[in-house]
Amino acid sequence: MSKRQLAMAMDLNKCIGCQTCTIACKTLWTRDEGMDYMWWNSVNTQPGLGTPRNWENMGGGFKDGVAQAGQLPTKADFGEAWQYNHEEVFYGGKGQNVHLQIQGETPNWGPNWDEDQGGGTYPNSYFFYLPRICNHCTNPACVAACPRKAIEKREEDGIVLINEDRCRGYRFCMEACPYKKIYFNHSKGVSQKCIFCYPRIEQGVANACARQCPGRVRFVGYRDDENGPIYKLVEKWKVAVPLHPEYGTDPNVFYVPPTGPLRFDENGNLDPTSPRIPEDYIRHLFGQPGIEALAIMLEEREKVRKGGKSEVLDILIAYKWSEMFGGFDRDPATIEWDNNGPINKA
Amino acid sequence: MKANYLAGVDTATLLDPKSNAWNQPKAETFKLMGTPLGMQPTELIRSSWAKKKIGQVESIKVQAAHNGETIAFRIEWATKAPSMTNGDNSIFPDGAAVALPADARAPVITMGAQGMPINAWYWRANDGGHGRQLSAEGIGTSETLDMEFVKTNGVYENGHWSVVIARALKIESKKPVAQLEVGQDAKFGVAIWDGKNQERGGIKAFTGGAWLDLSLEAGK
């Protein structure tokens, strides 16, 4: 266990599935060769098969304290990076006579392929978005699996990093990660994954996915900082809970479960007595703590509805973006650089 | 086994597994065994391979030759399903390696031991001939030393891999590498990875817990 642990909390009630986080991550970290199919940050419509396809049934994690080898997700499971006829459309001299088309085989899967499906039946159909990054677990199955000690959990902040100089591309980590958030780079022959934007963090700047989120969904900070948002959401108010805690890795990404809209009864009237998003589904994702978190959320909302104040709802509303990041709110434009990196460190 | 002295044969010729130069050195057949389950370095690997066969390749033919400067091992084995790539993530490229002691006391079964390194020369089917030189001081400790000194070439034909792994007999290096001498004896071992069987890392077939003998023929 590391001395301190950085964590992220995401409020699923606020995520609009715009994928700005996904693109923020993509443009910053996964543009190099062999990374075209990688989405270190992904956002999927739930219920759904997710990314990679059916990842929740691929195994991994811990059983009786022993790291388990699950399935190796294939490139097709993640969704191959499709190539388009950009050249022809923009520079082919064909004006409006051509349009963008995927080149090669017609794909049958991709990131958030089942975006517009969701669950339930009309009029009580439902969906919500689930953004995912590496969980930088307290008990990382990837670290336990690697025969080369190529994966490190940093002592100072608990960020889990793959050392590409030691990695030989054996992919035991991909088998072990129950969240299937590790990718294999076929050009470099190494495994790669979300790095929790550690070069930004080291300069006092929150993760790109968090900082660029238009919905102010993501909170960042140390778990043990009692004045920070993570401690308040996770420990104090217990409204943010880990995804699939039964996987046994003790994730450090937390979610405020979605309350969802009200349900209609058979007469078409709003029925507040049971939730539209089935409890079983929330329990499937977050276990009983997810149900308890929802109960706290509903209670706090009721309190505010009656004219009271709620610390936890004020945090989740995020009136000031700078208060979401536990001190990691430095303006990147204030960082001065020379060839060796930043010269005015955080 | 003997590493024949092939006077005047250049390294490029030695690196061609189909070259006539390889008609002369006698091929020896070695039975391989899977690496023992209990010696796999993580519990995940031990539990996930408990019911799977480690080491699909059961025997190899090995020849060895040198030209006074470079030594080459030509390793041949049968496989109906060669693996040249990492596929869709779920397979691995076939591989072969020659291990030599970098310290006379180094055990081969554990890939060396602390303070007693072994040196390995490594070929992968997808590495485009860029061999890799490693050292290890025990299971799970292998380190890449360089991608410069070891030359490799693999040809798959008629259901067989023929792979040549070569390196200068002596190299200038402060790292723990084997230094060989013409006219003297040496030790070696061989490991083969069957990529379609998801063999990689310590999951491999090898010549076993004892070093094999190699005598480097002196110049005539």
Q: Domain of A119: which CATH number?
A: 3.30.70.20
Q: Testing the interface with B: which of A186, A187, A190, A191 to mutate, by most B Cβ within 10 A?
A: A186
* Residues B47, A172: C-beta atoms closer than 8 Å: no
| H helix or E strand, kind and range, residue A46 | strand A42-46
Task: Answer yes or no: is A102 within a domain.
Answer: no
How much is the ipTM here?
0.95
Name the residue among A135, A110, A170, A151 with its Cα closest to residue A241.
A135
Q: Does B41 touch chain A (CB under 8 A)?
A: yes
- The range of the structural domain enclosing residue A60 comes to 6-82+109-333
Residue-level pLDDT at B129: 83
Chain B residues close to A144, C-beta within 8 Å = 42-44
Chain A residues close to B40, C-beta within 8 Å = 147
Gap between the Cα atoms of A170 and A162, Å rounded:
12
Residue-level pLDDT at A339: 86
Residue-level pLDDT at A338: 87
Task: Answer yes or no: is A98 within a domain.
Answer: no
Name the residue among B38, B82, B63 with its Cα closest to residue B166.
B63
Size of chain B, expressed as the number of residues it contains: 220
If DSSP codes are grouped into helix, strand and coil, which group holds residue B51? coil
* Residues B47, A68: C-beta atoms closer than 8 Å: yes
Instruction: Give mean pLDDT in consecutive 10-residue pieces for chain A, a chain of 346 residues.
Output: 94 98 98 96 98 98 95 95 93 94 92 95 97 98 97 98 96 98 97 97 97 98 98 98 98 98 95 95 98 98 98 98 96 88 76
Residue-level pLDDT at B138: 95
Residue-level pLDDT at A342: 83
- Residue in chain B closest to A143 (alpha carbons) equals B42
Task: Answer yes or no: is A116 within a domain.
Answer: yes
Chain A residues close to B85, C-beta within 8 Å = 186
> How many domains does one find in chain A?
1
Across chain B, what does the average pLDDT equal?
Answer: 96
Chain A residues close to B128, C-beta within 8 Å = none
Q: What burial letters (b/e) apply to A189-200, b meaning 16+ CB within 10 Å?
A: bbbbbbbbbbeb
| H helix or E strand, kind and range, residue A279 | helix A279-286
Gap between the Cα atoms of A12 and A217, Å rounded:
7
Per-residue model confidence as pLDDT tens digits over B104-148: 999 999 999 999 999 999 999 999 888 999 999 999 999 999 999
Task: Answer yes or no: is A88 within a domain.
Answer: no
Task: Answer yes or no: is A90 within a domain.
Answer: no
Are residues A253 and A135 in contact, defined by beta-carbon separation less than 8 angstroms? yes
Per-residue model confidence as pLDDT tens digits over B10-66: 999 999 999 999 999 999 999 999 999 999 999 999 999 999 999 999 999 999 999
| Domains present along chain B, CATH in parentheses | 2-216 (2.60.40.1190)
